Structure 1
Amino acid sequence: MKIHIDIDCFFVSAARLQDASLEHKAVVIGGRSDTKIFSQDAKSQTVNFENSGSFVPTFYKAYEKKDDDIESFLENGRLRGILTTASYEARAYGIKTAMTLKEAKELCPELIIKAPNMSLYQELSHKLHDFLSLKIPLIEQASIDEFYGDLQGWIEDEDIAPFISNLKNEIKKELGLPVSIGAAKTRYIAKLATSWAKPFGCKVITPSDFDTFVNPIKVENFAGVGKSMRTKLHESKIYTLGELRKRRGTLESWGPYAKELYKRVNGESDAEIETKHKRKSIGISRTFDPLFDRVELKRRVSVLARHLSFAILKLDVIPTVFHLGISYEMNQKSHQNISLAELFTENKFNSLCQTLFKEADRQRRLRVIRLSITCSSFTRNSKKELSLIGFHDEQKMHKLTKSTHSLREKYGIDTLKWGSEI
């Protein structure tokens, strides 16, 4: 059997390890886009490549503890930011992830708001991974707070329930972290079982109770069913997983993704446990107050490009697909992509991002509230070959880029900046 382990309210649970007075109280962890990287006196960011997950950025600032964490989210007397994690006590008030802190505070005036501590989350995630590696032969870290394990040939099926119950209790005792664990024949159903085990529970799905468990669940509660797929399913009068399982022909007619989704729901498809993941893409984005000034926006594109360039060089990969996205006020969006199989240099990357911004900025009468840059299809993973046109000159620039990167590695990402940023 496969098992899925998920830390309950991870960021809140981490805060409670540092402050026991937060136990059994309505607590949330706030999140706010770090727009200080655009300021002239910006401090260097910490780069995270190891763990991912919701609200886990690639770039983040080291945590600075404050006596009152709510001050981190106050600006001119206004409470700014969104909610990244809520305790179960907070959820009882109707507070949900991604809700604004202002809305959450209105629902629960006694709500305790804590600032994030990414360094602590990374440390605890590593400790849990190391602990699980001692208990289970094959462990896959899916994100900063969730793991998969393969118990096939290690634990007999009839012993799965006591094994995961003991494992849950041992994690709580050794690390102080509450986890929920689901077990099933496939990783996808195991993850589904974890959702029903929360909080601090265990759920084993055997072949005999598969139908009883799976069929009543709403389609949107299955991992992989996004907004568009949910809409498509609902339009076809498919609201539960049981109804989906009866419509194999319908799903298969929608293409490969829907066909695979059917197999996952039906317990026919599984994937091996991957102990090591290869990163397939990397990106950076920032949300800020509505801004119309295109000169300043171009400057901010350069700042984001510089940070992302540092990460790409640190990963030692050559991306060949580039994406720049713009979010405007009034819920308008635009984006531009390009494929380019050439040696990576920071100078060329910055110019490329400026070109993508110019082409993507199709709503020039509107103010911009978000910029994002993503790079993918690394040459180590793609079948693309690098262009030989101008390769000699590109090698010189690549060497200069490497030298620049070495200085930033030693003294910080903000040691060297583009003139256009100042």
Structure 2
Amino acid sequence: MNRNILHLDLDTFFVSCERLADSSLVGKPVIVGGTGDRGVVSAASYESRKFGVHSGMPMKMARQLCPQATYIRGNAGIYTKYSKTVTEILQEQVPVLEKASVDEFYADLTGMDRFFGCYKFAKELRSKVIKETGLPISFGLSVNKTVSKVATNEAKPNNQLKVDAGFEKIFLEPLSIKKIPMVGEKTFRTFCNLGVKHIGLVQQMPVEMMVSVFGKNGRMIWERANGIDRSPIIEYHERKSISSERTYGQDTTDVVKLRTTIHAMAENLAFQLRQGNKLTSCIAVKVRYSDFQTYSKQLKIPYTAADHNLIPAVLELFDKLYNRRLLIRLVGVRFSGLTEGHYQIDLFENTNRTVNLYKAMDAIRKRYGDRSVMRAATMGEGSRTIGGQGNPFNGQPPIVLAHRHQ
């Protein structure tokens, strides 16, 4: 029996999420990513790609290529929310789901042809995602993961493509060698030096030659060029950690700025825990200095999702970690050891007022965005910019709380 592997990819995912929040961005060049000189492009709309902009490009170069684009820092909380919604839709419909990234999925539909047809099912599934989320999504369907992924990329934007069993080599033959997953710029340049630019020529090469040039990866590239891929679907499971990092535009030793950033990260991650009905039992802080030396510390704690438990512990970890007094390039916070559970009142330290406060704050964030209400301690220079495209307050300051549990 032939396998039926479905690959789904949310088109320009971050840009699409921003367009749902602000319809005026539709049809215009939009670039999402770090807005400082050191920032990189996380997502670029098809309108901006015409100017040569692509993900992973330095933001400084993107501004030179497409100065007329709308530049957005992005909101990880919103993207996570939409990704979770799509994941839940797919999990309800397919027997085995692999979540390859925040916007990319594989599903094993093998055996479903006997009931109603895999391609018909995939089309209906795609329509369901579009209808329920408003997000554009493309898919490729074939006998393995590699060909399905390539088919998805050929189907984009917002379309679908099926490669019938036995036609894998014919489908891949005219495509650029760069279309094969795992062929990056360095490998592509090596192929160009050999005079090879299309997959069809690789299909004709002896596998021994590929191994002699590319080592152990040579055989895998040759197999994928020939439409051979035996890799299984790795079933999706809930992640066991969440994290946040920030790279500063300029290295700094401003402790107030650093602590403000750490504070804001911990507060936002705690909100994400409560949103996902999760508790954490381990916190970690990471610091990267200007010489790129990276250090981290972690601490086991009782299960919690409460700001007033997590924030002081995270700040204390940072104070213990930051001892070199050198310029800092990056800081990060991670919560791990996650488990299902609601935040419970501790009879020895909490009151109903505290729990009610969290519920009120979270309700505002769920409706207006995760930066719509925040503690005064996170309003310093180290916090991320509030407002911008799609902000429900239209650039107005967020609600600020000065609360005794800080």
Q: TM-score range by the shorter chain?
A: 0.5 to 0.7
1:304 Cα deviation after fit: 5.5
1:180 Cα deviation after fit: 1.2
Query: 2:332 corresponds to which letter in structure 1?
Result: S
Q: Which residue of 2 aligns with 1:316?
A: 279
Q: Secondary structure at the match of 1:319?
A: strand
- Distance (whole Å) between structure 1 residues aligned to residue 206 and residue 355 of structure 2: 55
Asked if residue 9 in structure 1 is aligned to residue 12 in structure 2, the reply is yes
- Distance (whole Å) between structure 2 residues aligned to residue 143 and residue 168 of structure 1: 18
Equivalent residues of 1:251, 1:262 under 8 A apart: no
Identity across matched positions, percent: 23
Counterparts in 2 of 1:186-335, with a 5 A limit?
186-213=144-171, 242=202, 246=207, 265=224, 266-274=228-236, 277-296=237-256, 299-300=259-260, 302-303=262-263, 306-307=266-267, 310=270, 314=274, 315-319=278-282, 322=284, 324-326=286-288, 328=290, 332-335=291-294
Query: 1:336 corresponds to which letter in structure 2?
Result: Y
Quickly say closer, same or farther: Cα 1:268–1:402, change in 2 above 3 A. farther
1:28 Cα deviation after fit: 0.5
Quickly say closer, same or farther: Cα 1:176–1:372, change in 2 above 3 A. closer
Query: 1:358 corresponds to which letter in structure 2?
Result: N
Q: Secondary structure at the match of 2:322?
A: helix
Q: TM-score, normalised by structure 2?
A: 0.60
- Distance (whole Å) between structure 2 residues aligned to residue 260 and residue 343 of structure 1: 49
- Distance (whole Å) between structure 2 residues aligned to residue 305 and residue 120 of structure 1: 15
Deviations, residues 303-348 of structure 1 (Å, cap 9, x unaligned):
257437736975323238x4613153xxx42212456667577455
Deviations, residues 260-315 of structure 1 (Å, cap 9, x unaligned):
977995412212443xx222332221233324335336534652574377369753
Q: Secondary structure at the match of 2:239?
A: coil
Count of residue pairs the alignment pairs up: 343
| Structure 2 alignment gaps of length 5 or more | 304-308, 340-345, 362-372, 383-405
Equivalent residues of 1:291, 1:368 under 8 A apart: yes
Asked if residue 352 in structure 1 is aligned to residue 317 in structure 2, the reply is yes
Equivalent residues of 1:14, 1:177 under 8 A apart: yes
Deviations, residues 90-140 of structure 1 (Å, cap 9, x unaligned):
211112234466644543454345674667656655664565567545555
RMSD: 5.4
- Distance (whole Å) between structure 2 residues aligned to residue 417 and residue 354 of structure 1: 16
Quickly say closer, same or farther: Cα 1:338–1:183, change in 2 above 3 A. same
Q: Secondary structure at the match of 1:316?
A: strand
Deviations, residues 239-265 of structure 1 (Å, cap 9, x unaligned):
9885899369789987xxx79977995
- Distance (whole Å) between structure 2 residues aligned to residue 189 and residue 323 of structure 1: 40
- Distance (whole Å) between structure 2 residues aligned to residue 409 and residue 163 of structure 1: 42
Equivalent residues of 1:181, 1:202 under 8 A apart: yes
Query: 1:192 corresponds to which letter in structure 2?
Result: V
- Distance (whole Å) between structure 1 residues aligned to residue 5 and residue 264 of structure 2: 40
Equivalent residues of 1:30, 1:116 under 8 A apart: yes
Query: 1:409 corresponds to which letter in structure 2?
Result: Y
- Distance (whole Å) between structure 1 residues aligned to residue 376 and residue 133 of structure 2: 41
Q: Which residue of 2 aligns with 1:155?
A: 113
Equivalent residues of 1:142, 1:148 under 8 A apart: yes
Query: 2:29 corresponds to which letter in structure 1?
Result: V
1:358 Cα deviation after fit: 2.4
- Distance (whole Å) between structure 1 residues aligned to residue 75 and residue 269 of structure 2: 25
Equivalent residues of 2:40, 2:58 under 8 A apart: yes
- Distance (whole Å) between structure 2 residues aligned to residue 370 and residue 405 of structure 1: 32
Quickly say closer, same or farther: Cα 1:86–1:294, change in 2 above 3 A. closer
Q: Secondary structure at the match of 1:97?
A: coil
Equivalent residues of 2:9, 2:139 under 8 A apart: yes
Q: Secondary structure at the match of 2:229?
A: coil
Q: TM-score, normalised by structure 1?
A: 0.58
Deviations, residues 179-219 of structure 1 (Å, cap 9, x unaligned):
21012333454233322222233233444233445578777
Query: 1:271 corresponds to which letter in structure 2?
Result: I
- Distance (whole Å) between structure 2 residues aligned to residue 91 and residue 174 of structure 1: 27
Query: 1:6 corresponds to which letter in structure 2?
Result: D
Quickly say closer, same or farther: Cα 1:410–1:130, change in 2 above 3 A. closer
